[in-house]
């Protein structure tokens, strides 16, 4: 999918930037409008955040609507919901952020979840960056309490894990 989007916008890098922003944020395109779930998002606001002008956002929408397959993808995008990452500490949750040396390695999420479960931690939220859209993808697990230090070496031993941060 991402390769097809890249090809569609290859001659217009600013439009590709807008398309990437829409995907990363779960913003859908329906007709000539942008939505986060059912809430319309003004194109001017998107333009300001991305650092382009409103016409570039509108041209991106037009280009999306021309390609049937890409239009179908963008029209069905949904926001994944609220992330607890930024407020975890304030509400007594623990966060472990995992960087993989190969983000396509099978079993990183399952094995990291197992380590937390073995330490009596229930996962409240799992956030996974798509390696096709994010050059530095991370797996973030948010547990029902602070992650103990003794869990870190066990997570680092998981095949494919390069780095672990806890906060």
Quickly list DSSP for 20-68. HHHHHTTEEEETTEEEETTEEE-HHHHHHHHTS-HHHHHHHHHHHHHSH
CA atoms within 13 A of residue 7's CA, in its CB half-sphere: 6
**CATH 3.30.70.260 spans which residues of the chain?**
85-166
What CATH architecture applies to the domain 85-166?
Answer: 2-Layer Sandwich (3.30)
CATH topology (fold) of 2-75:
Arc Repressor Mutant, subunit A (1.10.10)
Which residues make up the CATH 1.10.10 domain(s) of the chain?
A: 2-75
With tokens 């996974």, the residue in question is 128
* Whole-number pLDDT of residue 132: 83
pLDDT under 50 in the chain at which residues?
none
Residue 148 corresponds to which tokens in the numbers above? 């103990």
| Whole-angstrom distance, CA of residue 159 vs CA of residue 149 | 19
Tell me: the pLDDT tens digits for 67-94?
A: 999 999 999 999 988 899 999 999 999 9
Per-residue pLDDT at 101: 92
């Amino acid at each position: 999918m991402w390769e097809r989007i890249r090809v569609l916008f290859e001659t217009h890098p600013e439009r590709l930037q807008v398309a990437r922003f829409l995907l990363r944020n779960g913003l859908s395109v329906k007709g000539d409008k942008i939505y986060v779930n059912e809430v319309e998002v003004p194109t001017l606001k998107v333009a300001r955040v991305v650092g382009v002008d409103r016409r570039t956002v509108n041209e991106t929408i037009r280009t999306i609507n021309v390609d049937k397959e890409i239009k179908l993808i963008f029209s069905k995008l949904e926001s994944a919901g609220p992330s607890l990452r930024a407020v975890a500490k304030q509400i007594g949750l623990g966060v472990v952020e995992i960087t993989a040396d190969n983000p396509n390695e099978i079993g990183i999420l399952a094995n990291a979840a197992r380590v937390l479960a073995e330490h009596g931690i229930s996962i409240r939220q799992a956030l996974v960056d798509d390696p096709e859209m994010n050059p530095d993808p991370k797996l973030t697990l948010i547990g029902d309490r602070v992650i103990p230090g003794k869990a870190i070496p066990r997570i680092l031993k998981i095949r494919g894990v390069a780095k672990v941060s806890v906060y």
